[in-house]
Amino acid sequence: MNKHSVEVNAVAGTFQPDNILKAAGSDLLCDLDLTNDELGYLLDLADEVKRAPKNYANAMGGKSIGMLFEKPSLRTKLTFDLAMAQMGGSSVFLEGPIGVREPLKDVARNLDRWVNGIVARVFAQSTVEALAQWSSVPVINALSDAFHPCQALADVLTIRERFGRLSGLKLAFIGDGNNVAQSLMLTAVRLGMDFALGCPTGYLPDPDIVAQAEGLAAVSKAAITITHNAAEALDGAHAVYTDVWASMGQEQEAVERRTAFHLYQVNDALFAQARPDAIFLHCLPAKRGEEVTDSVMESERSAVFQQAENRLHAQKALLLMMLT
């Protein structure tokens, strides 16, 4: 058991809520709402939950979450739903625009009378921030156009499982400087990982978020590289990450984006620019033949389904820290 792991009764395997480090912030709206210590603790707790899930079978007994999703989902919905169910809790789900049928502030204040937490998958970052403003229970950002913190937690958990450490490794993201790239950049550099982004002109990440990441990297001594040369970004990379070229809400840009991103496909030749032991990562769903080839997705070095599994374990740890 590592230094951050919670203690359980060795005989009965009972959950001890007082041994969980509670997240100091009441919400997870962006990656930086977890302190560095909380981030490290969460990864260790996720390891523990994954190793001994039965020890947490009643951790959410009597608790429930409300899931408000403006965007379709497979991994996010099912892993939060299963996380609650496997820890003895429950979840309710509503899909559709938030704040249209009735004001968002009314939605939030109805939900916080019924559930112990709100998980929101939205378009605008302002939507999840407004939910947190009006809700008295924790709000978790399960994806917005600015951040995808739950994905980043599962990603760094996967990288650590593969390499046994995070500090000193290099993560390269190829493609759009989108919400996933921004969350990964903020999370990776805090953990001492170098981060490189290879993307075309016009698709850079938010400069304010880059500035935040550079400030964090100065403390951790990590390096940040942003380049239009995909091969340069992959040089020395331990993990190579990509995402779809046109995310949800960008479908009308699909043709334009295919033209802009065609040199950024992670194929065998480009993947070979990384370290020989590099792993391939993708938040899924993947459009095989566009941002990644089938041969890379199905290679022995692909960790995409390990990533998908780890959404469950990382989110269990997050729920334990925020709701118990």
| 54 closest CA partner among 316, 314, 306, 305 | 316
Q: Note the maximum CA span of the chain.
A: 60
Residues catalogued as catalytic: 121, 148, 151, 243, 283, 311
Q: pLDDT at position 94, please?
A: 96
Instruction: Name the residue ranges covered by the structural domains of the chain.
Output: 17-147+310-323, 151-307
User: Rounded to the nearest 5°, which phi and psi values hold at 149?
Assistant: -65, -35
Here the tokens at position 277 are: 């032991």
Q: pLDDT at position 10, please?
A: 35
Q: pLDDT at position 309, please?
A: 98
Q: Which residue is associated with the tokens 């978020």?
A: 209
Here the tokens at position 208 are: 């304010």
pLDDT by position in tens, the chain (length 324): 343 445 444 334 678 888 899 998 899 999 999 999 999 999 999 999 999 999 999 999 999 999 999 999 999 999 999 999 999 999 999 999 999 999 999 999 999 999 999 999 999 999 999 999 999 999 999 999 999 999 999 999 999 999 999 999 999 999 999 999 999 999 999 999 999 999 999 999 999 999 999 999 999 999 999 999 999 999 999 999 999 998 767 777 888 999 999 999 999 999 999 999 999 999 999 999 999 999 999 999 999 999 999 999 999 999 999 999
Q: pLDDT at position 8, please?
A: 42
Q: pLDDT at position 13, please?
A: 60
Task: Provide CB contacts within 8 A for 49, sequence distance 6+.
Answer: 56, 313, 316, 317, 320
Q: Which residue is associated with the tokens 């043709």?
A: 255
User: Rounded to the nearest 5°, which phi and psi values hold at 139?
Assistant: -115, 130
Q: Do domains 17-147+310-323 and 151-307 have the same CATH topology?
A: yes
Q: pLDDT at position 2, please?
A: 40
| 41 closest CA partner among 57, 15, 20 | 20
Cβ distance 243 to 203 under 8 Å?
no
Q: pLDDT at position 24, please?
A: 85
Please compute Rg for the chain using Cα positions.
Answer: 19
3-state secondary structure of 251: helix
Q: Which CATH class is domain 151-307?
A: alpha beta
Using alpha carbons only, give the angle 110, 115, 117 rounded to the nearest 5 degrees. Answer: 105
Task: Return the CATH number of 17-147+310-323, one of 3.40.50.1370, 3.90.1150.10, 3.30.2130.10, 1.10.3720.10.
Answer: 3.40.50.1370
